[in-house]
Amino acid sequence: MGARTAKALGFIFVSLLALLWLVPIIMMLVVSLMPPDQRAPRFGGLLISGVSVQNYVTVFLDAPILQHFINSFAITIPSVVLVVLISSLAAFALARLTFFARDLWFYLLITTLMLPIPTLVVPIFQINKALGLLDSYLGLILPYTALGVPFAIVIFRSFFAGFLRELEEAAILDGCTPFGIYWRIMMPVSWSAVAVVIIWQFMTSWNEFILALVTMNSVETKPLTLVPLVYSGQFMMRPGPMFAILTLITLPVIVVYYLMQRFMVSGLTAGAVRG
């Protein structure tokens, strides 16, 4: 009974924490479904007089949301692909190959994780301006990739370092090259690490605001995260459309996490079986 009581109390405590964390998301969703004739929700944003999708219709009619969606995907997906490819190759070299100052290079990469993005805004803006990348997808894809590679290398290196040396030696005896070991042996069983990197990089690139704000000047090239700022004057007195936009920004991240979560589990299982 004591163990069951402790387990029940722990479950209740964790559930309350999860509910507390979900309160802002619930408020956002509730306000986005608020009828247009209701100017403000009651009880701190948790109660509305009815449910209506008119706010979403208003957003799609008054703003080119689809174009902003395309802009965000055109920036986010290439940065995710580049981060996975570059970081996995670098992590394989840092974990399985031997070369001069290997550990020093890894520690230098880790130190870049301590740099906050606001300190890099001015240098990145100057570089983009000199290269003519302002108002260009590449002006955000390249910085997002550079900023995402160090963290991804840490994830991939931890996974590759625990790979059995015997399998690598057997592959070498069969004539497999280092790149063949990376591509044919390690990557197929690294879906757990790949899923973590994809989720993290997608969330980071999709939600990034400061670099996008200083890089994209025209409305036609702005990603979705800048839409609330662009149309804040239009919707400032109408919280329903504003929170509808915020909900639309959040949905792709939730969908990607939901889809990649099962690959994380299957990747972990595959690695355990093959190892």
Whole-number Å distance between alpha carbons of 40 and 33: 12
pLDDT tens per residue across span 132-181: 999 999 999 999 999 999 999 999 998 888 888 888 888 888 888 888 88
User: In this predicted structure, what is the pLDDT of residue 190?
Assistant: 85
Q: What is the DSSP letter of 47?
A: B
What single-letter amino acid sits at 11?
Answer: F
User: In this predicted structure, what is the pLDDT of residue 269?
Assistant: 46
Rounded average pLDDT over 40-66: 76
Residues 6+ apart with CB under 8 A from 268: 192
Per-residue pLDDT band for 274 (boundaries 50, 70, 90) equals: very low
Please name every residue paired with 47 in a beta bridge, in sequence order, or none if there are none.
42
Rounded to two decimals, the pTM is 0.84
> Cα–Cα–Cα angle for 70, 71, 73, nearest 5°?
65
User: In this predicted structure, what is the pLDDT of residue 102?
Assistant: 87
User: In this predicted structure, what is the pLDDT of residue 44?
Assistant: 55
pLDDT tens per residue across span 189-243: 888 889 889 999 999 999 999 999 999 988 889 999 988 876 666 556 677 888 8
- Phi and psi at 24, nearest 5°, equal -60, -40
User: In this predicted structure, what is the pLDDT of residue 50?
Assistant: 73
Rounded average pLDDT over 257-261: 83
Whole-number Å distance between alpha carbons of 239 and 261: 33
Whole-number Å distance between alpha carbons of 58 and 68: 16
